Amino acid sequence: MNDMSDGYVTADGRQIGGVIMEMKNITLRFGGVVAIKDISFDIRDGEIRAIIGPNGAGKSSMLNVISGFYIPTEGEVMFKGVKRGPMKPYQVARLGIARTFQNIALFDGMSVLDNIMTGRLTHMKSGLLAQAGWWWTGAAKEEDEHREKVEKIIDFLEIQNIRKTPVGRLPYGLKKRVELARALAAEPKLLLLDEPMAGMNVEEKEDMSRFILDVNDEFGTTIVLIEHDMGVVMDLSDRVVVMDYGKKIGDGTPDEVRNNQDVIDAYLGVAHD
């Protein structure tokens, strides 16, 4: 796959760009546990890249490496062609990388609206003193501008009616949606989704799929997706990385992966249609 230096065209005719992120020989250890073992793969501009694998394979850990929360024991992360030095997670976020979490990590004490507004943090400028002044210092105006963008996302994800609800009270599926909204609010280049559809029924998964596709489509946002629902993964993704016990056992288009014997043995159980 690495020979496609200048992108490719997907099955449904979308043009995929060059490599924006490359993982080179990543290894991650926690004491004795090796979560990731020497894995390399790349992510291309505009594609939907899935990571699949059995439980405990190291998928979430990989996402954590990308978002800077884990520092790989070995190997390097290249972003837009340059090696990414040791960075704090909040610095990574400012590069335009946003994510959702497997075990929902919303701010429980805040309303849905405020949660999504935090997503816009990296774009907001007014400091402490400006905030203290509010009307006279323009903080209020800035707030309104961003509020408008956030409202659009709220409309898009169809969560208008829960805008003011504290997120702690929401049912699981809606929380996942709010998390997605928060990530979208950052207008990221690269969006990392860790099991965004876990705990949803088919109808809701359809909704989520639609959102993901639309984001990818309209803004050209690159998406990395971890998901256990093979239907979703196979339908949505352009390329799939398969992990097992920290190792990469497959990488390719959904069709290639689906027919890879290693993948079938380790993960799918039976060949998926």
Partner 1 sequence: MPDIVLYAAEVTLNGLMAGVLYALVALGFVLIFKASGIFNYAQGVLALFAALTLVGIQKGQVPFAHLLNAMTGKHYTNFPWEVPALVAILLAAGVMVVLAIIIEKLVLKHLVNQAPIILFMATIGMAYFLEGFGDVMWGSDIKTLDVGLPQGINETIDSVTYNMFGYGFFIDNLDIVAAVVAVLLVAALTVFSQYSKQGRALRAVADDHQAALSVGISLRFIWILVWSIAGFVALVAGIMWGSKSGVQFSLSLIALKALPVLMLGGFTSIPGAIVGGLIIGVGEKLFELLIGAPFLGGATENWFAYVLALVFLVFRPQGLFGEKIIERV
Partner 2 sequence: MFYREAGDFKTSYREDSQTFPIKFDRLRYYVVLAIAFGVVPLLINDYWANAVAVPFLIYAIAAIGLNILVGYAGQVSLGTGGFMAVGAYAVYKLMTAFPEVSIFIHVLLAGGITAAVGVLFGLPSLRIKGFYLAVATLAAQFFLVWLFNKVPWFYNYSASGQINAPERTVFGVFVTGAQTSAMAKYMFCLVMLTIVALVARNLTRGTVGRKWMAIRDMDIAAEIIGVNPLTTKLSAFAVSSFFIGIAGALFFAVYLGAAEVGEAFGIQKSFLILFMVIIGGLGSIFGSFAGAAFLVLLPVFLKNVLVGTLGWPTDLAAHIELMIVGGLIVTFLIAEPHGLAQLWRVAKEKLRLWPFPH
Partner 3 sequence: MLDAAKTDTTLLEVNNIEVIYNHVILVLKGVSLNVPKGGITALLGGNGAGKTTTLKAVSNLLKSERGEVTKGSITYRGERVQEMSPADLVRKGVIQVMEGRHCFEHLTVEENLLTGAYTRKDGRGAIQADLEMVYNYFPRLKERRKSQAGYTSGGEQQMVAMGRALMSRPETILLDEPSMGLAPQLVEQIFEIVKSVNENEGVTFLLAEQNTNVALRYAHYGYILESGRIVMDGPAADLRENPDVKEFYLGMSDEGRKSFRDVRSYRRRKRWLA
Q: What is the contact surface with partner 1 in residues (CB under 8 A)? A: 64, 69, 101-103, 105
Helices of type H across the chain: 59-66, 89-94, 112-119, 128-133, 139-156, 172-185, 202-219, 230-236, 254-258, 261-263
The binder of partner 2 chosen from 27, 40, 102, 131 (CB under 8 A): 131
Which of helix, strand or coil describes residue 254? Answer: helix
Q: Considering the rule CB under 8 A, would residue 121 count as an interface residue with partner 2?
A: yes
Q: Considering the rule CB under 8 A, would residue 108 count as an interface residue with partner 2?
A: yes
From the list Mg ion, ligand ATP, partner 3, none, pick the one residue 209 interacts with, judged by a Cβ distance below 5 to 8 Å according to partner type. partner 3
Which of helix, strand or coil describes residue 4? Answer: coil
What is the footprint of partner 3 within residues 36-65 (CB under 8 A)?
53-57, 60
Q: Interface with partner 3 by CB under 8 A: which range of 18-26, 112-120, 178-186, 229-237? A: 229-237
Instruction: Write down the least CB distance from residue 60 to partner 1, Å.
Output: 8
With contact defined as beta carbons under 8 Å apart, do 153 and 184 qualify? Answer: yes
Residue whose CB is less far from partner 1, 61 or 222: 61
Q: Give phi and psi for 183, each to the nearest 5.
A: -65, -40
With contact defined as beta carbons under 8 Å apart, do 111 and 164 qualify? Answer: yes
Instruction: Write down the least CB distance from residue 89 to partner 1, Å.
Output: 10
Which of helix, strand or coil describes residue 193? Answer: strand
Residue whose CB is less far from ligand ATP, 66 or 139: 66
The binder of Mg ion chosen from 16, 44, 60, 157 (CB under 5 A): 60
The binder of partner 2 chosen from 98, 153, 191, 249 (CB under 8 A): 98
| Nearest-10 Cα torsion for 238, 243, 249, 251 | 10
Q: Give phi and psi for 57, each to the nearest 5.
A: -75, -25
The binder of partner 3 chosen from 83, 88, 141, 210 (CB under 8 A): 210
**Cα angle: 205, vertex 211, 213; to 5 degrees:** 100
From the list partner 2, partner 3, partner 1, none, pick the one residue 144 interacts with, judged by a Cβ distance below 5 to 8 Å according to partner type. partner 2
The binder of partner 2 chosen from 124, 198, 213, 268 (CB under 8 A): 124
Q: Which of 140, 134, 130, 178 is nearest to 156 (CA)?
A: 178
H or E element at residue 34: strand 33-44
Residue whose CB is less far from Mg ion, 102 or 122: 102
What residues make contact with partner 3 under the rule CB under 8 A?
12, 30, 33, 53-57, 60, 102-103, 152, 155-156, 169-174, 195, 198-207, 209-210, 213-214, 218, 228-232, 235-236, 267-269, 272
What residues make contact with Mg ion under the rule CB under 5 A?
60, 102
